A and B are shown apart, each in its own frame.
Chain A
Amino acid sequence: MMGIDRDQVRMVIALFVVASVAATLLALTDIVTREPIAEAQRQALHRALAQVLPAHSNDPQNDVLEVDKDGSIVQVYPAKDKLGQLTGLAWEVVAPDGYAGSIRILTGFKPDGRLNAIRVTSHKETPGLGDWIVKDSDWLANFVARNLDDTDWRVKKDGGDFDQFTGATITPRAVVKAVKKSLEFFKERNQLILQRLTEQHALPASAAEKSTHGVKQ
């Protein structure tokens, strides 16, 4: 009886030690990698934003606005020139109905509501079939300068303006639908976003003015 108990205690202690050491190792790794992971994600978003937004001299991620959309929050990235004038807006939309899970698309707009460019930021579509939405620059260029009214937001197979790919209709259909939703969001929330931007602009700008006056004197 005593023997069995001792064995069980040994097992418990062994597993306890292994699990504790593993947990400590993971905690340490998390502390070390948390910052670099956040930075890497920032960099990735930065590159994607540079591709979809018109020329700008601010850091859109620093000026991010949080806008409510049907109960969820959309991160709106504004692009501004040196004078603080708005040159474009970007946000991510999710197409939930891709062939394999959801497709995330970063959509960039000109201030007049026309698309500037779109980029797919993450997807799980079939390599070689559905992943043309990432690689095919001609297809992506097809979205440039379109707006809600001058375009039939469907793939050609459904009577719209966008090519589908051989053997892959579901993927482009999902992307086109999501981009259309993004344009509708622009139309709905355009005023609100502009208003929020002027408010945001008012504070730091006046502070900046003061500091330049200070330098002059």
Chain B
Amino acid sequence: MTKSEIFSDGFWHNNAIFAQLLGMCPLLGVTTSAENGFWMGAATLLVLLGSNLVVSMVRGVIPKNVRIPAYITIIAAFVTVVGMAMNAWMHEMYMILGLFIPLIVVNCAILGRAEAFASKNSVVDSVVDALAVSAGFTFALVLLGGVRELFGQGELFGFSVFGENYPDMLMFILPPGAFIALGFILAGVNLINRQLKVRADHQKAEDLAAEVEAVEVIS
């Protein structure tokens, strides 16, 4: 796979949220606002970057039977480091997200990348993969957080969009709103993917037709 293929695969076609539906706990838990979603994504980026990097470096060294405990230890170490750093230098955000930071350890999206990608690919490819997957994950978090913040409180990134008199739709802030908004987002993603596929099929058919024509001309 080329670097750009790895990236588009991790960011969109195999998106942790939209395609694999992994990492639902942080997704549904912290996305009451776009900003919370963004910082959760940033924390996940640091962890995934660290774990993919180290796992790809030690690939082949760790015996197969103990690879899962080894990966989890690596991931947990990075999560704790990120949590401590956030507590020290981003104290206010840590007060909001603090509860969910340790749970990054059990985000299947991260162990999934270690197992499915980093343990089989080069260090550089694994770093590209980590960037792509976490960018896709962050995109999903910010999108869902934005939708919930917009409809729930009439704000986006803390700025008022619908004005002071917006009647807050509490449901979007509460957990059911997360599921409902996610459902609509997934439907939207599937719609886009279908359009892309239709267009790709169309393109393929045209190419084929052109080829057939060319062959006929030659013969």
| Nearest CB in chain A to that of B84: its residue | A33
Question: Is B63 in the interface zone, CB < 8 Å from A?
Answer: yes
**Per-residue B-contact encoding for A21-34, CB less than 8 Å = 1, 0 else:** 11001100110010
A-B contacts, CB under 8 A, total = 71
Q: Are A30 and B173 in contact (CB under 8 A)?
A: no
With A11-B65, A14-B62 as contacts: A19 and B80 at CB distance below 8 Å: no
Closest beta carbon of chain B to A25's beta carbon, Å: 5
Which residues of chain A (113-149) have a CB below 8 Å from chain B? 122, 124, 126-129
B interface SS class: helix
Which residues of chain B (85-130) have a CB below 8 Å from chain A? 85, 87-89, 91-92, 95, 99
Interface size on B, residues (CB 8 A): 30
Which residues of chain B (134-177) have a CB below 8 Å from chain A? 152-153, 168, 170, 173-174
Q: Are B76 and A15 in contact (CB under 8 A)?
A: no
Q: Are A14 and B70 in contact (CB under 8 A)?
A: yes
Question: Is A195 in the interface zone, CB < 8 Å from B?
Answer: no
Q: Are A128 and B174 in contact (CB under 8 A)?
A: yes
**Residues of chain A lying within 8 A (CB to CB) of residue B91:** 37, 40-41, 43-44
Partner of B84, one of A11, A22, A30, A41: A30
**Residues of chain A lying within 8 A (CB to CB) of residue B74:** 18, 22
| Nearest CB in chain B to that of A23: its residue | B77
Question: Is B56 in the interface zone, CB < 8 Å from A?
Answer: no
**Per-residue A-contact encoding for B44-81, CB less than 8 Å = 1, 0 else:** 00000000000000100111011001100110110011
Q: Are A18 and B85 in contact (CB under 8 A)?
A: no
Cα-based distance from A25 to B84 in the complex (angstroms): 12
Q: Are A29 and B63 in contact (CB under 8 A)?
A: no
Cα-based distance from A29 to B83 in the complex (angstroms): 10
With A26-B80, A122-B95 as contacts: A14 and B170 at CB distance below 8 Å: no
**Residues of chain B lying within 8 A (CB to CB) of residue A18:** 58, 62, 70, 73-74
| Nearest CB in chain B to that of A28: its residue | B81
With A14-B61, A18-B70, A36-B88 as contacts: A128 and B168 at CB distance below 8 Å: yes
Q: Are B66 and A11 in contact (CB under 8 A)?
A: yes
Partner of B81, one of A29, A36, A167: A29
Closest beta carbon of chain A to B217's beta carbon, Å: 63
Question: Is B32 in the interface zone, CB < 8 Å from A?
Answer: yes
Interface centre among B65, B81, B89, B168 (most CB of A within 10 A): B81
**Per-residue A-contact encoding for B168-194, CB less than 8 Å = 1, 0 else:** 101001100000000000000000000
Given contacts A33-B88, A128-B152, 10 further A-B contacts (CB under 8 A): A15-B69, A15-B70, A15-B73, A22-B77, A30-B84, A33-B85, A37-B84, A40-B89, A41-B91, A44-B95
Q: What are 9 A-to-B residue pairs whose CB atoms are below 8 Å?
A: A11-B63, A14-B62, A15-B70, A30-B84, A36-B88, A40-B91, A44-B91, A44-B92, A128-B152
Query: Which 5 pairs between the two chains have the least Cβ-Cβ distance?
Result: A36-B88, A40-B91, A22-B77, A128-B173, A33-B88
